Copies of this chain bind each other. A is one copy, B any other.
Amino acid sequence: MPETYVNTRIDYAVKDISLAEAGRHQLRLAENEMPGLMALRAEFGPSQPLKGARIAGSLHMTVQTAVLIETLTALGAQVRWASCNIFSTQDEAAAAVVVGPTGTVDDPQGVPVFAWKGETLEEYWQLADRIFDWSNEGFDGPNLILDDGGDATLLVHKGVEFEAAGAVPDADDPSTGSGTVSGSGTVSEEYRIILDTLGASLARDPQRFTRMAEGLIGVTEETTTGVHRLYELAASGDLLFPAINVNDSVTKSKFDNVYGIRHSLPDGINRATDVLIGGKTVFVAGYGDVGKGAAEAMRGQGARVIVGEIDPICALQAAMDGYQVARLDDVAGDVDIVITGTGNTRVVTVDNMLALKHLAIVGNVGHFDDEIDMAGLAAVPGAQRIEIKPQVHEWRLPTGRSILVLSEGRLLNLGNATGHPSFVMSASFTNQVLAQIELYANRDAYPLGVYVLPKALDEKVARLHLAALGVELTQLTTEQAAYIGVPVEGPYKLDHYRY
């Protein structure tokens, strides 16, 4: 584990601070592709709307996140940051943020970051705990959380719960339950680590999270999973502070899912296999936003696309878009590439994998790795796993055929490519920044509950990305605005509008 240095202006824990130079370079290029964030710096830099905000951030520590972090600080915030995944940190980005735009490797002037690529689960939760330790900055804790997946939010809620109980539950007591955590270990193993982390906190300071929760204005949450947790907390009456659901902004859910996947799916297949996509038969499981982007990308490369769906509305959309809609069970023998984008489990079964064409490619751009039944595959008698290269494995099957599994069934656009490109993340992160400003500036307008951003801000996010693409927006006349009953400057649509 890298050392944390507090003998400079800031404390941090990154793999190699000397990577900062390369990282600063990448940040500069990424800034050009993140016009929404840069526009916020230009618009809000002078007024410093986040002055006084202390943000604990838990989100993949990538180059794009680095631009997000420096946008938050450019608007006046103080920030501490950890990653929300043990593998997703880009070490040069972490180092660059620590050094900051004006610092040097020897004199970092940036933001305390606690993240590196390849953390253990123990390290992960210890690092998560560090973003709540604002003693070095002279505070009890943050007043805002920026979360991705809900781990930071979880830590506070469980911390408060256990502090109220006076102790963490016994991990070996079956009644303790499993908590609600995601991550890379098995759930119960990871929950044990969380209990240890919080037990240690409790030992140090029995009211730490309780005090902190009182000071928290709220959280802005990035993902479906995290949002789901928040709605559950709100429903059960356990939510401790208001939350803004960034995930369901149009400029988030309809942008990164569709356009991000359209970009990164072929990218991942290409880097993994170099197989010509043109002419191939590709089965796309799921025709939600992810599946729509995936199917479009594959067709755009000249593949024949077959879609699988369980929802009749989405299935009808796929048919109307010209795709054959079939069951993988029925067509697996004709398929060269299977892509899952469902968020469900065992969408590709062992029987499917046994039926696929020789050296068919199997990959996931949905959610967890169980969209493809990897456990079932590993249990096939005689199945043999051969690493072709990292994140690309041939599985030789007792049928005499093989399949190629990408990223061991995990998200191939992350494992075999580089995830969503900067421009897509700019839309998501501009939502995040606006949500942080909204919570901080209008805290009284948000009683306990879970909110989506007002449509005007959603439209603002879009607006900030138009100039970079050369889009010339038409302006409503006052007559036209009156005619359709909207303000000239928007918002232009009812909340239920589907886009």
Contact = CB atoms under 8 A, between A and B. Distances in A.
Nearest to A483: B345
Given A279-B469, A311-B492, A466-B312, A262 B301 contact: yes
A144 to B, nearest CB: 25
A271 interface: yes
A454 to B, nearest CB: 13
A120 interface: no
A275 interface: yes
A259 B278 contact: yes
A315 B473 contact: yes
Interface in A435-474: 458-460, 462-463, 465-466, 469-474
A385 interface: no
B297 A462 contact: no
Contacts of A471: 315-316, 318-319, 325-326
A157 B418 CA distance: 50
Nearest to A387: B25
B421 A275 contact: yes
A10 to B, nearest CB: 28
A305 interface: yes
Contacts of A310: 473-476, 480, 492
A359 interface: yes
Contacts of A214: none
A371 to B, nearest CB: 10
A404 B30 CA distance: 13
Contacts of A319: 279, 304, 466, 469-471
Contacts of A296: 300, 302
A251 interface: yes
B343 A322 contact: no
A204 interface: no
Interface stretch (A65-73, A106-114, A185-193, A327-335): A327-335
A305 B7 CA distance: 53
Contacts of A248: 496
- Category for how many chain A residues contact B: 35 or more
Contacts of A258: 320
Interface in A1-26: 25
Contact of A490 (B251, B311, B427): B311
A426 to B, nearest CB: 9
Contact of A323 (B304, B344, B473): B304
Contacts of A394: 29
A94 interface: no
A459 to B, nearest CB: 5
B472 A327 contact: yes
A32 B274 contact: no
Contact of A469 (B275, B280, B314, B463): B280
A302 B263 CA distance: 9
Contact of A346 (B323, B422, B477, B498): B477
A177 to B, nearest CB: 18
Contact of A484 (B29, B299, B324, B343): B343
A309 interface: yes
A170 interface: no
A408 interface: no
B326 A472 contact: yes
8 contacts: A29-B359, A270-B417, A274-B418, A279-B322, A281-B469, A303-B322, A310-B476, A326-B471
Interface of A: 25, 29, 32-33, 248, 250-251, 253-255, 258-259, 262-263, 266-267, 270-271, 273-281, 285, 296-297, 299-305, 308-328, 330, 334, 343-347, 358-359, 388, 394, 404, 417-418, 421-424, 427, 458-460, 462-463, 465-466, 469-477, 479-480, 483-484, 490, 492-493, 496, 498-499
Given A263-B277, A316-B466, 12 more contacts: A29-B359, A250-B313, A258-B320, A259-B302, A302-B322, A305-B322, A312-B473, A315-B466, A316-B469, A334-B470, A344-B483, A345-B483
